[in-house]
């Protein structure tokens, strides 16, 4: 597999006196080659603002992946062994569907080569591309039981506007595709805000059989109940796609999004969910959506988003 067209951005502090144990991500990151993909954590950027623009949001997430790489580069390496940066899929202008299709092809190829893809957005239209890659990979199975776990303040189950998808529609588009394929649509949305989703969206979620949990019910003291909901969902699927919309975090922790959350879900709860999803052994692919460095404050959002990528990579690598 070839590197996608992008500038190599991995640089940072070198603690040479510490030897191997002093290693950081920028020192470990490799370009993709046929023989270094199996059992690797493979990063892919999705540089796309079109979905958020179509959804009347604040653009800037197209710069998210490169800003995340800049922060990740200086992070220490613990469990993650083989780290590969495949580069960026870039959306040209409003050509969102073409970018999603390209992302699906890249994810499917990485899965076929036994890598674990982590895709960094970009708006949440990334989900249609990432899921599409997993669906392609599993399409030879008659009825793959795919489960989507989304940490998000929003359902993202909107109907198309002007006959177009956006960052607000990906899971409704996936539901439509599953129906067309005769597959079940298994969607678990955690962190939903009553104050950021219309009654129409709650109704659609219920009609589609979505498992959802409000931000109100995802405090630290309710963590066991949240994990029980998650475990019940995971028990009935075989292949998991995990997606984190960073706007699930409180605005003070994650200002760097199009639609910051007034309440949100604490980082410790988000990370507990992340660990539980990985521990299921069913996770195939993950992405992080909506990181928009333009609205960051002193790189607080970048640090948090990079921590989530590193935590995910560590947890996945422990199982490899």
Beta strands in the chain (DSSP E): 29-30, 41-47, 83-90, 116-121, 146-151, 186-192, 211-214, 239-245, 283-289
296 makes contact with Mn ion (CB under 5 A): no
Contact pick of 109, 125, 245, 287 for Mn ion (by CB under 5 A)? 245
Which residue matches tokens 């969206």? 201
Q: What angle do CA 53, 213, 251 make, to 5 degrees?
A: 50
Say which entry of ligand NIG, Mn ion, none residue 280 contacts (CB below 5 to 8 A, set by partner kind).
none
Say which entry of Mn ion, ligand NIG, none residue 57 contacts (CB below 5 to 8 A, set by partner kind).
ligand NIG
176 is in an annotated binding site: no
Query: CB atoms < 10 A from the CB of 204, how many?
Result: 19
Stretch that binds Mn ion, among 51-59, 138-146, 174-182, 239-247 (CB under 5 A): 239-247
- Measuring CA to CA, how many Å separate 265 from each of 1, 122, 239? 38, 21, 25
Q: Residue 89 or residue 246: which is nearer to ligand NIG going by CB?
A: 246
Query: 317: alpha, beta or left, given left = phi > 0 and alpha = psi -120 to 50?
Result: alpha
54 makes contact with Mn ion (CB under 5 A): no
For residue 302, count CB atoms less than 10 angstroms from its CB and return exposed for 0-12, middle for 13-18, buried for 19 or more: buried
49 is in an annotated binding site: no
94 is in an annotated binding site: no
Q: Which residues bind ligand NIG (CB under 6 A)?
A: 55, 57, 124, 154, 156, 158, 167-168, 196, 258-259
Q: Do the beta carbons of residue 127 and residue 154 sit within 8 Å?
A: no
Nearest residue to 144 (alpha-carbon basis) of 238, 18, 10? 238
Q: How far is the CB of 26 from Mn ion (least distance, A)?
A: 29
Q: Residue 207 or residue 232: which is nearer to ligand NIG going by CB?
A: 207
Say which entry of ligand NIG, Mn ion, none residue 168 contacts (CB below 5 to 8 A, set by partner kind).
ligand NIG
Q: Please tell me what DSSP assigns to residue 141.
A: S
Site string for Mn ion, 110-139 (x = CB under 5 A): --------------x---------------
Q: Residue 70 or residue 249: which is nearer to Mn ion going by CB?
A: 249
Q: How far is the CB of 31 from ligand NIG (least distance, A)?
A: 32
172 makes contact with Mn ion (CB under 5 A): no
Q: What does the alpha-carbon distance between residue 259 and residue 192 come to, in Å, rounded to a whole number?
A: 13
Q: Residue 127 or residue 302: which is nearer to ligand NIG going by CB?
A: 127
Residues in touch with Mn ion (CB under 5 A): 124, 152-154, 156, 245, 247
């Amino acid at each position: 597999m070839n590197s996608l067209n992008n500038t190599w951005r991995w640089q940072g502090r070198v603690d040479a006196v510490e030897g191997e144990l002093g290693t950081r991500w920028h020192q470990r990151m490799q370009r993709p080659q046929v023989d270094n993909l199996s059992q690797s954590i493979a990063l892919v950027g999705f540089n796309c603002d079109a979905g958020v623009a179509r959804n009347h949001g604040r653009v800037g997430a197209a710069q998210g992946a490169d800003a995340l790489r800049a922060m990740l580069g200086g992070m220490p390496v613990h469990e993650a062994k083989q780290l590969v940066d495949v580069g960026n899929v870039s959306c040209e202008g409003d050509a969102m569907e073409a970018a999603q299709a390209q992302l699906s092809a890249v994810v499917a190829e990485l899965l076929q080569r036994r890598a674990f893809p982590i895709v960094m957005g970009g708006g949440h239209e990334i989900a249609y591309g990432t899921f599409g890659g997993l669906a392609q990979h599993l399409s030879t199975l008659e009825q793959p039981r795919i489960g989507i776990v989304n940490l998000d303040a929003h359902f993202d189950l909107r109907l198309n506007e002007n006959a177009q998808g956006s960052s607000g529609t990906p899971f409704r588009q996936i539901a439509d595709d599953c129906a067309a394929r005769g597959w079940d649509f298994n969607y678990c949305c955690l962190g939903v805000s009553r104050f950021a989703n219309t009654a129409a969206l709650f109704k659609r979620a219920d009609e589609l059989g979505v498992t959802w949990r409000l931000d109100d019910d995802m405090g630290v003291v309710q963590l066991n109940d949240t994990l029980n909901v998650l475990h019940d969902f995971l028990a009935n699927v075989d292949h998991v796609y995990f997606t984190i919309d960073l706007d699930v975090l409180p605005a003070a922790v994650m200002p760097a999004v199009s639609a910051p959350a007034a309440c949100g879900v604490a980082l410790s709860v988000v990370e507990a969910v992340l660990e539980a999803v990985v521990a299921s052994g069913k996770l195939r692919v993950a992405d992080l959506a909506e990181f928009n460095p333009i609205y960051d404050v002193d790189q607080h959002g970048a640090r948090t988003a990079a921590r989530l990528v590193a935590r995910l990579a560590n947890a996945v690598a422990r199982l490899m």
